[in-house]
Amino acid sequence: MFSGFSGLQSVRSCSRALLFPALALGLVLPFVGCGSSTDIDSIAISPETVSLATGATAQLTAIGTIGHGQHPSTTVNVTSLATWRSSVSGVATVSSTGEVVALSAGVTTITASIKGFTGLLTSNVATITVTGGGSAGEPLVSLTIIPGTQAVASVNDTTQFIAIATTSTGTTEDLTGKVTWSSSSANVAKISAGGLATGLGQGTTTITAIASNPDKTVVTGTANLTVIAGASEPFTAINISPGTQSLSATGQTGQFIALGTAGGSGLNEDVTNSPRVKWTSSVPSIATVATYPAPSAGLVTGVSAGTTTITAKLTNPDGSTVTSTSTVTVSTTSAPEPLLSLQIIPKDVTVGNLLDTGQFIAIGTFSTAPTVQDLTNSPNLTWVSSFPTIFPINTTGVAGAPAGVITAFGSGTAVVIAEAKNPDGSIVTATATFNCPLVLPNPPQTPGSCYPGSETPSLLATLTVFNTGVNTKDWLVEADSATGTKNVLHCGPGSSKAGLGGSVCVATYPVGTLVTLTAPAGTGNFGGWSSNCTSTGTVTSAGPNSCTVKLSTNDTVGAIIN
């Protein structure tokens, strides 16, 4: 008789309608583990829809149904057993216990998932609509820190963070000096009120910026800062970017960036404004260059017609030096017109798994030659993601990380913004979208996408090539397959002669493949490749021209053919 109580402790959370009649009859209940996630046939979220003002909270409850054909079905509260997530955490977050916190206006879906009786994931969703709190609405809806990841070589080295806010109208604003900055580890780094971080010890810290709205709600942004241990490493090389510049003698200015390479770690550090670096011009009467302690070190100004050499000389603590040079050509022509327009290619990227990435390229159009330029990695262009905590995007100033690369850490849609700054301070913008749609697995009909557990290493990568120039008649781009098959990638109006290809090149390669792209001679006036594809020789307008790109993930390359 007492054997009837052997499973009592395990089924304590079950419905009394199921448990007590069985005990009264002296039956031995088979253990169905009602409080265990492995016995759930289905799951429901209550309530299914919630509308909240910004800053408000709501409690969601996950109810599991048990039965699977062996007993009358019963329900059990599995709120604390479920895995909770928000598709757009910039709109609302959800805790491990189902509590929702509204952050900014928008719509998000809250998913509760649990391992079911069949061993497969079972889940359901609730829809959360967030409206602006207060009669005035929310002027700030998100805050992005750029760059999202930085590193300094040693203690006492500094680096600058910038805080860009997005308002409810979609405009952006630089709030670097107006936000509250903090470092998660005071032993690793400190950060000033102006966003200047200083290394204090080995390790990684999270840098946080907080901006307040008039109704006292806040928006936050985070970035990571790594400090490499030990005494200050000597730099074994310094590199100036760009390699050449052309300016007008009317006082036009251009900015040089200096990257130093540390010998021990191989870390690339921006040393443009370092007191260790001295900038000089070989002919100051042709062009001058600012050096430390000037606030804009590396800024060169055209004075008169001619050519001068700009040198950046870095002195290490042990007295050793490394140098790099660049050439500046100054003409008497008028300064070039500012940027007329900006375009992001592709306009839309959709991925199918968490941690998948996409490459965006920013192409600028100017009124004077070169009229089309790749600005993806330009120091005058900034990349912003509308939901940086879910879809962070690399921007300028991140050593070793190409700009325009976005990663999916959650599901949903983000607006990608490219902001280019003209010499007069005006801003030109362009937008695109990045999608990681949430499709829950429903074997065998639907494989699912962008759900927790979809993070699988990709074996194949897709390469997409666009012509960003003005040629619409005879341009052509070719590439062989990973195994040497000719013209697996072959497109452009010029390819119609061979009956192959189209206006946009797309091909799939194994991850890690080094692909060589070629624009043959006689197929338009060639103007260059996007910066993520390395030229394999001198670029000439007549061609042929080639470049190489290593596919570690899906990538996009722009060819400027006029």
Q: What percentage of the chain exceeds 90 in pLDDT?
A: 8
Could you tell me which residues come within 8 angstroms of residue 171 by beta carbon, excluding any fewer than 6 positions away? none
513 vs 28: which has the higher pLDDT: 513
- Token digits of residue 149: 């990841």
Question: CB count, 10 Å around CB of 345?
Answer: 23
Q: What percentage of the chain exceeds 70 in pLDDT?
A: 81
What is the pLDDT confidence band of residue 283, given thresholds at 50, 70 and 90? Answer: very high
pLDDT of 74-110, one tens digit each?
778 888 888 898 888 777 889 888 999 888 777 888 9
pLDDT of 396-417, one tens digit each?
645 456 788 898 888 888 888 8
CA distances from 376 to 10, 192, 555 (A): 59, 29, 13
Q: How far apart are CA 171 and CA 222, in angstroms?
A: 20
Q: Which residues pair with 405 in a beta bridge?
A: 359
Q: How far apart are CA 527 and CA 549, in angstroms?
A: 18
Query: In terms of Cα–Cα distance, which of 386, 436, 551, 536 is closest to 482?
Result: 551
Could you tell me if 436 and 349 are in contact, meaning their C-beta atoms sit under 8 angstroms apart?
no
Question: CB count, 10 Å around CB of 135?
Answer: 6
Domain 457-562 has CATH 1.10.10: no
Q: Which fold has domain 140-227?
A: Immunoglobulin-like (2.60.40)
pLDDT of 139-151, one tens digit each?
788 888 888 888 8
Q: Mean pLDDT throughout 274-285? A: 92
| Position 451 pLDDT exceeds 50 | yes
The DSSP letter of residue 203 is E
Query: In terms of Cα–Cα distance, which of 415, 399, 404 is closest to 357?
Result: 404
How much is the pLDDT for 310? Answer: 94
521: left (phi over 0), alpha (psi -120 to 50) or beta: beta
Q: How far apart are CA 134 and CA 123, in angstroms?
A: 34
Q: Which CATH class is domain 336-442?
A: mainly beta
- Return phi, psi of residue 18, to 5°: -90, -40
What is the pLDDT confidence band of residue 31, given thresholds at 50, 70 and 90? Answer: very low
Q: Which fold has domain 2-131?
A: Immunoglobulin-like (2.60.40)
Could you tell me if 140 and 165 are in contact, meaning their C-beta atoms sit under 8 angstroms apart?
yes
Could you tell me if 495 and 476 are in contact, meaning their C-beta atoms sit under 8 angstroms apart?
yes
How much is the pLDDT for 530? Answer: 80
Q: How far apart are CA 370 and CA 380, in angstroms?
A: 17
Q: How far apart are CA 292 and CA 495, in angstroms?
A: 53
Q: Mean pLDDT throughout 179-195? A: 86
Q: Which residues pair with 211 in a beta bridge?
A: 219
Half-sphere exposure of 363 (CA within 13 A, CB side): 24
Strand runs labelled E in 501-540: 505-510, 514-519, 526-529, 534-535
pLDDT of 469-527, one tens digit each?
777 777 888 888 888 788 788 777 766 555 565 567 778 888 888 999 988 888 778 88
- Return phi, psi of residue 311, to 5°: -120, 135
| Position 363 pLDDT exceeds 80 | yes
What is the pLDDT confidence band of residue 14, given thresholds at 50, 70 and 90? Answer: very low
| Position 12 pLDDT exceeds 60 | no
| Position 27 pLDDT exceeds 60 | no
| Position 25 pLDDT exceeds 50 | no
| Mean pLDDT, all residues of the chain | 78
Task: Specify burial of residue 408 (Cβ count, 10 A radius: 0-12, 13-18, 19+).
Answer: buried
| Position 159 pLDDT exceeds 80 | yes
How much is the pLDDT for 346? Answer: 86
Q: Which of 184-188, 279-283, 422-426, 488-492 has the lowest mean pLDDT?
A: 422-426
Looking at residue 43, its amino acid is: I
| Position 280 pLDDT exceeds 70 | yes
Q: How far apart are CA 107 and CA 89, in angstroms?
A: 10
Task: Specify burial of residue 520 (Cβ count, 10 A radius: 0-12, 13-18, 19+).
Answer: middle
pTM metric for this prediction: 0.40
Domain 235-327 has CATH 2.60.40.1080: yes
How much is the pLDDT for 291? Answer: 92
CB environment 365-384: b (16+ within 10 A), e (fewer): eeeeeebbbbbbbbbebbbb
Within this chain, domains 140-227 and 457-562 share the same CATH topology: yes
Could you tell me if 41 and 67 are in contact, meaning their C-beta atoms sit under 8 angstroms apart?
yes
pLDDT of 302-334, one tens digit each?
899 999 999 999 998 778 899 999 999 888 876
Domain ranges in the chain are 2-131, 140-227, 235-327, 336-442, 457-562
- Token digits of residue 480: 């062989």
| Position 562 pLDDT exceeds 60 | yes
The residue to which tokens 């089924």 are assigned: 11
Looking at residue 502, its amino acid is: G
Task: Specify burial of residue 43 (Cβ count, 10 A radius: 0-12, 13-18, 19+).
Answer: buried
Q: How far apart are CA 50 and CA 126, in angstroms?
A: 8
